[in-house]
Amino acid sequence: MPILPSKSRLAHIVFEHDDKASKNFDLAILILILGSLIVVILDSEPSIYRDYHRELLILEWVFTGLFTVEYGLRIWLSKRKWGYIFSFYGLVDLLAIVPTFLSLILAGTQFLVVIRALRLLRVVRILKLGRYMKEAEVLKSALKASKLKIQLFLGTVVTIVLIAGTLMFIVEGPESGYTSIGMSMYWAIVTLTTVGFGDITPLTPLGKFLASVIMLLGYAIIAVPTGIVTSELAIANTKSKKKQGKTCKNCESKGLDLDAAFCKYCGKEI
Amino acid sequence: MPILPSKSRLAHIVFEHDDKASKNFDLAILILILGSLIVVILDSEPSIYRDYHRELLILEWVFTGLFTVEYGLRIWLSKRKWGYIFSFYGLVDLLAIVPTFLSLILAGTQFLVVIRALRLLRVVRILKLGRYMKEAEVLKSALKASKLKIQLFLGTVVTIVLIAGTLMFIVEGPESGYTSIGMSMYWAIVTLTTVGFGDITPLTPLGKFLASVIMLLGYAIIAVPTGIVTSELAIANTKSKKKQGKTCKNCESKGLDLDAAFCKYCGKEI
Amino acid sequence: MPILPSKSRLAHIVFEHDDKASKNFDLAILILILGSLIVVILDSEPSIYRDYHRELLILEWVFTGLFTVEYGLRIWLSKRKWGYIFSFYGLVDLLAIVPTFLSLILAGTQFLVVIRALRLLRVVRILKLGRYMKEAEVLKSALKASKLKIQLFLGTVVTIVLIAGTLMFIVEGPESGYTSIGMSMYWAIVTLTTVGFGDITPLTPLGKFLASVIMLLGYAIIAVPTGIVTSELAIANTKSKKKQGKTCKNCESKGLDLDAAFCKYCGKEI
Amino acid sequence: MPILPSKSRLAHIVFEHDDKASKNFDLAILILILGSLIVVILDSEPSIYRDYHRELLILEWVFTGLFTVEYGLRIWLSKRKWGYIFSFYGLVDLLAIVPTFLSLILAGTQFLVVIRALRLLRVVRILKLGRYMKEAEVLKSALKASKLKIQLFLGTVVTIVLIAGTLMFIVEGPESGYTSIGMSMYWAIVTLTTVGFGDITPLTPLGKFLASVIMLLGYAIIAVPTGIVTSELAIANTKSKKKQGKTCKNCESKGLDLDAAFCKYCGKEI
């Protein structure tokens, strides 16, 4: 009979990632998540459902059981139990097991377990792949800096969508499939984003002309979010590179500009 | 009976945004605009129209009535009445109430009240959200600087659309849906902007080849407006940051970092 | 009877753009080109063709007659006649009148007169709109600098299209509409450029998976031409701004870097 | 009877590219590859297959024969035979002849010879077109620097695709064509990449709303890979230009302009 690890040892395995046992635990969780995602995707395929639903259902309950045990373990081992439960990862861990239990009452909810994909975030974070972390940091800081600009931009897009949608609704009308302003706004989004499903298309010459203007507009404004992210990314890149800047020998300030002749903090010549 | 505010107090509430009463007035207008937009969108939905048209029509007239009162108030309270009436916001305020009255004579015009969405611009401006304003300034200056380049670009695109449209009209002809040069130009815009509805598509091998060339061309030139906006945005960003920089009183170097205590060029304390 | 201008005066009017008469001549040509383009577009519209073809045909011949007279004039007035005839603009001028005459023999060729749109280039050049010229210069130099990179990129795209097209042809086959490798390559271009007409789409699971990979690939590589143009545009912008650089008082060299302390040509302190 | 070249002379012709004979050999291979690609593409066209399959089949075997001889030659002439066989180009050379032989056993495999397109890479490399190589270097270094960021980005996109696909599967269901999570994920990729085939489209209002959110999201994140490549390309461009810069022997400033005669920082002659 194997000797059970002590509670503190178990907590180390679950929460830390610095020795063999804890790394294996992380890896096992990673494989379980990927496995359970594959089970859900396969189970939704009609031909596979017909032949293997029973087997997949069993597997699904095995995965859910293991995740439930893991969730219980995490609560039990946490020092600040409520802190964990209401943390982002705590909620994701809970949401990853709820849908299966819910499917006993409500049909169709079992597919919601794909929320488990979010648990991959934790694993990625855990792996602390140095290289990725640095790159992710640059991306994150660029997106954060772009946030306000992108909100403004989305606001403008929504206003354009509202006006373009209404105009198309008036010009084309229900006969062409523009059955309501909501429907027309859906069409305007499909068009402005250059997705262009083609499920609804203008049929009248005036509608086609208006659609052409909307498309050219979309073509022109698609440039804006790209421009925003790019210029912020360039800045973030530069900042990340600045960390390799000059160092003052006097006050030991780091990250001084490469063209600086004097330290901007203490005024000594570099 | 509540005491009516004086005319000057009323003007303050309507035009200024610095105390509780005037801020509440702005907020009320914001809610009224959003509410009336939702009413128009809902009323265009056939199933909702059938069951609730009467109620929505009443609401619509209530909103229009309130906006009419507000419009009257603004004229009455303005010192330069004609100045307000012919200003951009004055015209938008008028256009926001005209369609409802027009719908008494002409059917279908009631949907044009979505022009009210433009009134949101004023509210946004009013809220004077500092952070947003600064970002909007950068975006605006980048777009302004790109204006000439984007006009040139659109001119080129229109010429390509004209020639590509005519070629497709000659190659494919009416049997494939290219019933006229106008129709073919619509198709060329749909294709060049990568929207690709698929309502008209080439059927002959030569047409498909020509379409492939047009698509690759579109793929290559989609890069141009993005490049224009991005490089202008980078410049605008840099300028906006330089403006906030410190200036050295000794050597007059500008654009020094905000956290600098000493000039990085001459070493003097700032 | 008006006094006919002398030959040298006529040559001035036709070739120069610096006094009232020559500017009016340019303007007249601009209006004639736009007018004739509108006539061609309208004539291709079936409903307009039915009712007004006779009138439009007469107009078309009037335009062609005027352009023929202008072409004759230009040859007659040129000092180096063959030089003009074989120049780019000389050929465009010829191509702008040939299709109408050709339509007497071959049906359908009359639409080729849209080549007249290219004559607009000359007019634009003539107007010498200072602001536009400078911007066009920046755009042109950026595109020229990107040429090699974009050629390389298009080569890569064509190779991907060939391989992706063949794979889809093997996987999906004629039943799904992938009737030949050529057809599949057309589909691959439609997909990679994110146009996505939807006239041919994968039907088998494997085909859909392969299509997904191609789309994600397209999504990733759409970034490349944009990146190329943007970075070249940034460089071109910078260069254009450098023209406003420092000037050496000693050797009068212009466009020196703004951070230069010494002239890089003569070595004197600036 | 022509005198056969010696083995060492033959090796020179096949592996080197510096005299007339070896350059002609490279050119012949280039023409053979392009010719055989055209044969495969034509042979897949049903109408051409019907009338000319026999002739094309003969040509295909001639090409395959020549490539087999060339492959044999390369092995025979290589000093490190296994090194060549398992090198990237050795494998491509083999894969370029295998499908034709395989088609004797398995139908349909003959089309796989398009893998020959990859052989063009070698020819391009051989031509050592100086200008292209330098540009390719910049592109390659930019893409290499972006690799981690693009991997991260694709990871995020796949997670979004999984969650968006499942939500659409639950909301729309099989009646709208979302027959499984896999199918919905295919739709999500089609939508996020703005391809938008339109073979599957949301039919319910909630589905349309969700699709709109996904499209706007796609519109916002399409900016990210572009931004990544652009900023890396800008850095690579700068580096490539700095490498060509002069260095001042006096003050050791690097990256001086190529046309500089004096250092712009210290004023000494270079």
Q: Which of B25-39, B44-58, C9-23 has the lowest mean pLDDT?
A: C9-23
φ, ψ of residue B178 in degrees (nearest 5): -85, 75
Q: What is the ipTM of this complex?
A: 0.79
Ramachandran area for residue C87 (φ above 0: left; ψ -120 to 50: alpha; else beta): beta
Closest CA to A188 of A213, A156, A162: A162
Q: How many CA atoms lie within 13 A of D70 on its CB side?
A: 24
Which residues from A are below 8 Å from D180, CB to CB?
A: 41, 44-46
Kindly write down the DSSP assignment for every residue of A156-225, as one continuous string.
HHHHHHHHHHHHHHHHH-GGGT--SHHHHHHHHHHHHTT----SS---SHHHHHHHHHHHHHHHHHTHHH
pLDDT of residue B233: 74
CA distance A135 to chain B (A): 21
Residues C206, C207, C208, C209, CA torsion sign: positive
From the CB of residue B20, how many other CB atoms can be counted at a distance below 10 Å? 8
Inter-chain contact D201–A199, Cβ cutoff 8 Å? yes
Question: A119-127 and A88-95 are packed helices; what angle lies between their axes, rounded to 10 degrees?
Answer: 130
Which residues from B are below 8 Å from C237, CB to CB?
A: 231-232, 235
Which residues from B are below 8 Å from C225, CB to CB?
A: 219-220, 222-223
When comparing pLDDT for B200 and C255, which is higher? B200
Does residue D261 register a pLDDT over 50?
yes
Rounded CA-CA distance A191/A185 in Å is 10
pLDDT of residue A1: 47
Which residues from A are below 8 Å from C194, CB to CB?
A: 194
Query: Which chains contact B through at least 3 pairs of Cβ atoms less than 8 Å apart?
Result: A, C, D
Among the partner-chain residues A152, A159, A256, the one whose CB lies closest to the CB of B136 is: A152
Please return the burial class of C67, using the count of CB atoms within 10 Å of its CB with bins 0-12, 13-18 and 19+.
Answer: buried
Among the partner-chain residues D46, D154, D266, the one whose CB lies closest to the CB of C179 is: D46
pLDDT of residue B13: 83
**For chain D, which domains are there?**
7-132 (1.20.120.350), 136-245 (1.10.287.70)
Q: Which of C128-137, D9-18, D124-133, D209-218 has the lowest mean pLDDT?
A: D124-133
When comparing pLDDT for D216 and D111, which is higher? D216
Q: What is the mean pLDDT of residues B121-127?
A: 59
* Tokens at A118, concatenated: 């979010």
Rounded CA-CA distance A260/B247 in Å is 15
3-state helix, strand, coil split of chain A in percent (to 5) is: 75, 0, 25
Q: D46 and chain B: CB distance < 8 Å anywhere?
A: no
3-state helix, strand, coil split of chain C in percent (to 5) is: 75, 0, 25
Kindly write down the DSSP assignment for every residue of C212-269, as one continuous string.
HHHHHHHHHHTHHHHHHHHHHHHHHHHHHHHTTSB--TTT----B-TT-SB-TTT--B
Q: D121 and chain A: CB distance < 8 Å anywhere?
A: no
Our CA angle for D40, D45, D46, nearest 5°, is 130
φ, ψ of residue B269 in degrees (nearest 5): -70, 140
Q: Convert the pLDDT of each residue in D25-82 to its tens digit.
A: 888 888 888 888 898 889 888 889 899 989 998 998 999 999 999 999 999 998 888 9
User: Using an 8 Å Cβ cutoff, are B168 and B207 in contact?
Assistant: yes
Closest CA to D215 of A187, B139, C209: A187
Is the overall model pTM greater than 0.80, yes or no? yes
Q: Quick one: DSSP state of residue B158?
A: H
Percent of chain B with pLDDT over 70: 79
pLDDT of residue B1: 47
Which residues from C are below 8 Å from D237, CB to CB?
A: 231-232, 235
Query: Which chains contact D through at least 3 pairs of Cβ atoms less than 8 Å apart?
Result: A, B, C
Q: How many CA atoms lie within 13 A of A221 on its CB side?
A: 25
* Tokens at B29, concatenated: 């207008």
Inter-chain contact C150–B220, Cβ cutoff 8 Å? yes
CA distance A117 to chain C (A): 19
- Positions of chain C with pLDDT lower than 70, given as ranges: 1-3, 108-110, 121-133, 135-136, 237-270
Rounded CA-CA distance B191/B161 in Å is 10
The residue of chain B with its CA nearest to that of D205 is B45
CA distance A87 to chain B (A): 29
Among the partner-chain residues B196, B226, B230, the one whose CB lies closest to the CB of D196 is: B196
Task: Please list the pLDDT of chain A residue by residue as tens digits (270 residues).
Answer: 456 778 888 888 888 777 888 888 888 888 888 888 898 889 888 889 899 989 998 998 999 999 999 999 999 998 888 998 998 888 888 888 888 888 888 776 667 777 777 777 666 555 555 566 676 677 777 777 777 777 777 778 888 898 899 889 888 988 889 999 999 999 999 999 889 999 999 999 999 999 999 998 887 777 777 777 777 777 776 666 555 555 666 666 655 555 556 666 666 666
Q: What is the mean pLDDT of residues B18-38?
A: 85
Which residue type sits at D163? I
The answer for residues whose C-beta is within 8 angstroms of residue D18's C-beta and 6 or more apart is: none
When comparing pLDDT for B229 and A76, which is higher? A76
Inter-chain contact B268–A264, Cβ cutoff 8 Å? no
Rounded CA-CA distance B123/A31 in Å is 52
pLDDT of residue A93: 86
Residues B5, B7, B11, B12, CA torsion sign: negative
Q: Quick one: DSSP state of residue D97?
A: T
Does residue B237 register a pLDDT over 80?
no
